[in-house]
Amino acid sequence: MSKVRVNKRLNRLIRSGICPAEDASEYAAELKQLAETIVKKDSATKQSSFFKALADETRIRILKLLEVREMCVCEIMVALDLTQPTASHHLGLLENAGLVSGRKEGKWVFYSLADVKLIKKLCALDIL
């Protein structure tokens, strides 16, 4: 939205008496500062990545399997009937979100939960 439109909207809000501000430009700057103070953009990006990782049935199933024990990609592929690229894609997203970690052993990569306590808390809340 353009700056002119924003200022027009804020001016209308101020004139209505609902908003205690006197100057739309100053108020806009205050609102931007508030947003930056409350939720830093990089923090919101991390949180978004975390929730996106949880927003898929296959990734939830992978987490539940890894709750039982460490598994290599091929075991996850067989258990969930996935192709290797699909399994690796899901595991990569989970790893980037900090939910799983991989350990290389020769040509094999074994995955486990990165934070068992967090996953158990999510399970207790019936999120997983």
Same domain, 62 and 111: yes
Same domain, 67 and 101: yes
Residue ranges making up the domain that contains 31: 3-38
* Nearest-10 Cα torsion for 119, 120, 124, 127: 10
Same domain, 21 and 56: no
- Domain count across the chain: 2
Round to whole Å and give the CA distance between 87 and 81. 9
Residue of 111, 98, 97 whose CA lies nearest to 62: 111
Contact 52, 97 (CB under 8 A): yes
Q: What contacts 7, CB < 8 A, 6 or more positions away?
A: 24, 25, 28
Round to whole Å and give the CA distance between 116 and 10. 47
* pLDDT tens digit sequence for 2-30: 666 777 888 888 888 888 888 888 888 88
Same domain, 94 and 119: yes
Domain at 110, CATH number: 1.10.10.10
Same domain, 50 and 20: no
Planar angle of CA 77, 121, 48, nearest 5 degrees: 70
**Which residue positions in the chain have pLDDT lower than 70?**
1-4, 119-128
Containing H/E element for 105?
A: strand 100-105
Same domain, 32 and 73: no
Same domain, 104 and 74: yes
Q: What is the mean pLDDT of the chain?
A: 86
